[in-house]
A and B are shown apart, each in its own frame.
Chain A
Amino acid sequence: AQSVAQPEDQVNVAEGNPLTVKCTYSVSGNPYLFWYVQYPNRGLQFLLKYITGDNLVKGSYGFEAEFNKSQTSFHLKKPSALVSDSALYFCAVPSGAGSYQLTFGKGTKLSVIP
């Protein structure tokens, strides 16, 4: 089975500083990888995905993610954090090769401090 891990339950960053939310993956073959964000009392929102191609993927709200095959990582980044970025972030991977079901990480709570 394919899986992702988010090693940090919580990340705190000062407003205006760069932010990174970490994700590592374990897949067979070429990975499809996703990031979602969940604001309080809302459903998850799709941010970006990596299918193939450029290792730097750009997504919504100024977020980007860097795919690193040698480190099996897919970290979410943003150059300058906003207080409104405070939310829960999930990375995800298809549950199996060719599967359309997703397996989610346990989530990382990002707090941006004014």
Chain B
Amino acid sequence: DAGITQSPRHKVTETGTPVTLRCHQTENHRYMYWYRQDPGHGLRLIHYSYGVKDTDKGEVSDGYSVSRSKTEDFLLTLESATSSQTSVYFCAISERVTYEQYFGPGTRLTVT
């Protein structure tokens, strides 16, 4: 999975609790992305980053925040988890000149 790790790989949490997912890359790629994958919806972009401390919203950003304090780490936080945020979350990285993105193994999050 192209030097990308995600942690945790699985998490079960209760509604209303905060959750942070971590993406770590060893490729020194500038761009990083968080997606969620749900049946019937494909992949939808939550947030992305185009450099350290430079982030922006994607298609489904409500209820999520991100931070990137180092090139290699991109954190996704659910401030107060809801059942609708039960999903599989993928991190991806890319370099602009090649466009293609490389994905991590995913985190399966269940909010009960």
Contact = CB atoms under 8 A, between A and B. Distances in A.
Contacts of B45: 95, 101-103
B58 A101 contact: yes
Contacts of A101: 33, 45, 48, 58
B99 A45 contact: no
Interface stretch (B12-20, B36-44, B76-84): B36-44
B42 A90 contact: yes
A17 B104 CA distance: 32
Contacts, number: 51
A43 B90 contact: yes
A100 B94 contact: yes
A103 B50 CA distance: 17
Q: Which of B50, B99, B104 has the most CB of A within 10 A?
A: B99
Interface string B41-66: 11101001010000000100000000
Contacts of B96: 100
Contacts of A45: 103
B101 interface: yes
Nearest to A95: B45
A22 interface: no
Chain B residues touching A, range: 20 to 34
B103 A43 contact: yes
B33 A43 contact: no
Task: Give the most central of A32, A45, A101, A105: most B CB within 10 Å.
Answer: A101
B90 A104 contact: no
A42 B106 contact: yes
A43 B99 contact: no
Interface of A: 32, 34, 36, 41-46, 49, 90, 94-95, 100-107
Interface of B: 1, 4, 31, 33, 40-43, 45, 48, 50, 58, 90, 92, 94, 96, 99-106
5 contacts: A32-B99, A34-B100, A43-B4, A46-B101, A94-B99
